[in-house]
Amino acid sequence: SGKITVQDLANEMGKTVSEVIKELMMMGTMATINQEISFEIASLVATKFGFELTTADDSETEDEIEKLMEIEEDKEEDLKPRPPVVTVMGHVDHGKTSLLDAIRKTNVTKGEAGGITQHIGASEVKINGQKIVFLDTPGHEAFTSMRARGAQVTDIAILVVAADDGIMPQTVEAINHAKAAEVPLIVAINKIDKDGANPDRVKQELSEHGLLVEDWGGDVIAVPVSAKKNIGIDHLLEMVLLVAEMEELKANPDKRAVGTVIEAQLDKGRGPVATVLVQGGTLRVGDPIVAGVASGKVRAMINSKGKRVKVAGPSTAVEILGLSDVPQGGDQFVEVPSDKVARSIAEKRQQQQREEMLKSSQRLSLDDLFNQM
């Protein structure tokens, strides 16, 4: 475990030599400026000053572990096309859920989905043999919090606007989120079956928010639909595929898996359950992963059709079992080389989280104190 001089120790901590010598004396150790003291003694002194002493060995492995969390850049030749990931946003009651239902139903009646979709916070549909992944959870609150946490999960946003109601406050919010995230937007003008429906007014209002639709000379795709009467849904999905094609979405399936936690909860029987979106690489049952402050080996994976799967490639949403804790929506997950590495990274993160919580609670109590004065 090595030795360190009094001078070096003082320098490391930004303290004066006499401060360190004084502390040593109080511990019953007489030392001069150039004297070497043992690691054990040095760490005791460091602790007194509020520092933690680590050996060179420790910091090296910690660096290595940190490096494991960095995702290496993909080479162009390793990239393969991947399906688009789509979220549906819009004002309250404008028909987001109904639209997703209609999309799934269209798919089921065509006999491609293989049954009723079990809810896992994501669903997959196949249109003309091409896959589209819909994230069910992100209403724009989830969208915002994910973005705030640096997670970008959506390739395309569908903005639902009710034709009888027009642009409302949350519609504007959704437009701004999509703009900020630089996600292409497709407008679904919904409820065109209703008596008071006025798609032209919606187009007018969209233009007032900088979205000029195609038939008005702009480049924003707007599709009139009725989620209730199942009108225009096919056309909407075709437009999604068209935009996806222009985006040239690609990922490298042949590297360790990386992606984002969409949602997670503690299940009574199954323990922590997380719905994750694989964005790069391929996740397999048995892979050790870190997800936020949680770690573990993937014990089982369930796809959007409720079926157990062993492998999940890019643009696949799966529910995973086997985590130690419940991660947060928006957390990144990364496959790591071993169980042990996974645990040690998660432990370090939990420690950091505790320290931050402690700090913020201390700040809070100081604030409380000032408020009372």
Q: Provide the minimum distance between the beta carbon of 239 and ligand GTP in the complex, in angstroms, as a whole number.
A: 17
Q: Hey, how many other C-beta atoms are within 10 angstroms of the C-beta on 291?
A: 27
Compute the half-sphere exposure of residue 238: CA atoms within 13 Å on the CB side of its CA.
Answer: 7
105 binds ligand GTP, rule: CB under 6 A:
no
Query: Pick from ligand GTP, Mg ion, none: which does 138 bind, CB < 5 to 8 A by kind?
Result: none
Compute the half-sphere exposure of residue 361: CA atoms within 13 Å on the CB side of its CA.
Answer: 6
Query: Which one, 96 or 104, has the nearer CB to Mg ion?
Result: 96
104 binds ligand GTP, rule: CB under 6 A:
no
Intra-chain end-to-end CA distance of the chain, in Å: 49
- Candidates 126, 194, 343, 348: give the one binding ligand GTP (CB under 6 A): 194
- Candidates 107, 190, 279, 282: give the one binding ligand GTP (CB under 6 A): 190
According to DSSP, residue 226 is labeled B
123 binds ligand GTP, rule: CB under 6 A:
no
Range in contact with ligand GTP (rule: CB under 6 A) among 27-35, 113-121, 175-183, 186-194 = 186-194
Query: Which one, 123 or 332, has the nearer CB to ligand GTP?
Result: 123
Which three-class secondary structure string do you get for 255-289? CECEEEEEEEEEECCCEEEEEEEEEECEEECCCEE
Query: Which one, 46 or 88, has the nearer CB to ligand GTP?
Result: 88
Report the alpha-carbon distance of residue 155 to residue 178 in Å, rounded: 10
2 torsion bin: left (phi>0), alpha (psi -120 to 50), beta (else): left
Q: Find out whether 71 is annotated in a ligand binding site.
A: no
Report the alpha-carbon distance of residue 300 to residue 278 in Å, rounded: 15
- Candidates 7, 98, 130, 145: give the one binding ligand GTP (CB under 6 A): 98
- Candidates 96, 104, 140, 177: give the one binding ligand GTP (CB under 6 A): 96
Query: Pick from ligand GTP, Mg ion, none: which does 297 bind, CB < 5 to 8 A by kind?
Result: none
- Candidates 48, 126, 228, 348: give the one binding ligand GTP (CB under 6 A): 228
Q: Hey, how many other C-beta atoms are within 10 angstroms of the C-beta on 45?
A: 26
Q: Find out whether 177 is annotated in a ligand binding site.
A: no
Give, for 156, the enclosing helix (H) or strand (E): strand 156-162
Query: Pick from Mg ion, ligand GTP, none: which does 93 bind, CB < 5 to 8 A by kind?
Result: ligand GTP
Which residue bears the tokens 């849904």?
233
Alpha helices in 86-232 (DSSP H): 96-109, 140-148, 169-180, 199-208
Q: Find out whether 28 is annotated in a ligand binding site.
A: no
196 binds ligand GTP, rule: CB under 6 A:
no
Q: Provide the minimum distance between the beta carbon of 97 and Mg ion in the complex, in angstroms, as a whole number.
A: 3
Q: Find out whether 106 is annotated in a ligand binding site.
A: no
Residues in contact with ligand GTP by CB under 6 A are: 90, 92-98, 190-191, 193-194, 226-228
Binding annotation for GTP: 90-97, 136-140, 190-193
